[in-house]
Amino acid sequence: MNKISLTGVKPTGTPHIGNYFGAIKPAIEMSNNPELDSFYFIADYHALNFIKKKEELVQFTKEIACTWLACGLDPNKIVFYKQSQVPEVTELNWLLCNVTSKGLMNRAHAYKALVEKSLEAGDDPDALVNMGLYNYPILMAADILLFNTKFVPVGADQKQHVEMARDIAKAFNKRYGNTFVIPTEIIQESVATITGIDGRKMSKSYGNQIPLFCTEQELKKLISGIKTDSSLPTEPKSTDCAVFSLYKLFANKEELEAMAERFAKGISWADAKAELYSVANKYLTPMREKYNYYMTHYDEVEKMLDAGATKARAIAKETLARARAVIGLD
């Protein structure tokens, strides 16, 4: 039997270039490995912590589904579904809660960051924390363990969550005997952190993102707004900057070498940005066309998700039955 590779993306915003290079692209590349069976899903339960408006949840879910298809995900080759279509996830979540120590959850970066924020504001440490956020890593462990996942391709910021899934699997296996496969995160180091237009990590929390499928005009405008230093056009420029690091993602080898040379000799930021726009737009255009097709033919996408959920549930039921049996629930 092939090893399982699984990943999820939260529908919490319009997908951006950081999501693509950090998570979607490596995951799709992995799905082409014939030695792996891949599961990709939309983590809509995980999104509930961030998205409180129904219209937004529906819209972002649609955008994520169409993005993955536009980026080359083949729903005939991999299992593609919405997390909320697989209720077994929530049942396993509960079973896992009972082998997970509170101390483990206390160490989660996302939780700790909120606690710190409240403390700094002089508020109760848990003022900003609801149980969905607190239990977030357990739900993620359920996503992973339910499908006997071996590999979890994710961005570097998700490493701790996969480590926690591993700890939870081990705790369960220790108490009840070998039930779950122990998962490992796969982090593509070379594209681990994509830079945003202000030079920090691209993230919707910083508002510095470039949406993957914005229009050509928007793309041009966002690129022209990338923060640069005040060096003169003729001055040599360091390649350690947002413009170059984004250029690197879209360019081929020759383009990259030529650009590195121009940076060394001196290039105006306007020219560097124009070149970045040109390679980025060339790269993104065919995918953008597919994306626009799926967004306007969403019924086709929904059928694909339904078929994926049926396949996913067949496996989920088997794993859940195994877990229930070793616990003594059947």
Give the phi and the psi of residue 88 in degrees, each rounded to 5.
-60, -25
In 31-142, at which residue ranges do the beta strands (DSSP E only) sit? 36-42, 79-82
- Of residues 4, 69, 146, 154, which one binds ligand TRP by CB under 6 A? 154
Other beta carbons within 10 angstroms of residue 44's beta carbon come to: 22
Which residues contribute to the site for ligand ADP (CB under 6 A)?
Answer: 9-10, 12, 18-19, 22-23, 154-155, 157-158, 193-194, 201-205
Residue 143 partner contact from ligand TRP, ligand ADP, none using kind-dependent CB cut-offs of 5 to 8 Å:
ligand TRP
Q: Does the active-site annotation cover 201?
A: yes
- Where is 61: in which H helix or E strand? helix 54-70
Give the integer Cα–Cα distance in Å for 261 and 277. 18
For position 10 contacting ligand TRP by CB under 6 A, the verdict is: yes
Classify residue 26 by its DSSP letter: H
Within 8 A by CB and 6+ apart from 131, the residues are none
Residue 140 partner contact from ligand TRP, ligand ADP, none using kind-dependent CB cut-offs of 5 to 8 Å:
ligand TRP
**Residue 168 has which token pair?**
């939870």
- Write down the least CB distance from residue 247 to ligand TRP, Å: 26
Q: Which stretch binds ligand TRP (CB under 6 A): 59-67, 138-146, 231-239, 251-259?
A: 138-146
For position 30 contacting ligand TRP by CB under 6 A, the verdict is: no
- Of residues 4, 40, 46, 92, which one binds ligand TRP by CB under 6 A? 46
Give the integer Cα–Cα distance in Å for 276 and 283. 11
Q: Which stretch binds ligand TRP (CB under 6 A): 93-101, 154-162, 208-216, 264-272?
A: 154-162
Sign of CA pseudo-dihedral 97, 103, 108, 110: positive
Under DSSP, is residue 6 helix (H, G, I), strand (E, B) or coil?
strand
For position 114 contacting ligand TRP by CB under 6 A, the verdict is: no
- Write down the least CB distance from residue 194 to ligand ADP, Å: 4
Please answer whether residues 6 and 38 qualify as being in contact, where contact means their C-beta atoms are separated by less than 8 angstroms: yes
Q: Does the active-site annotation cover 170?
A: no
Smaller CB distance to ligand TRP: residue 27 or 272? 27
Q: Which stretch binds ligand TRP (CB under 6 A): 89-97, 140-148, 213-221, 299-307?
A: 140-148
Q: Does the active-site annotation cover 273?
A: no
Give the integer Cα–Cα distance in Å for 210 and 218. 9
Which residue minimizes CB distance to ligand TRP?
8
Active-site residue list? 117, 201, 204
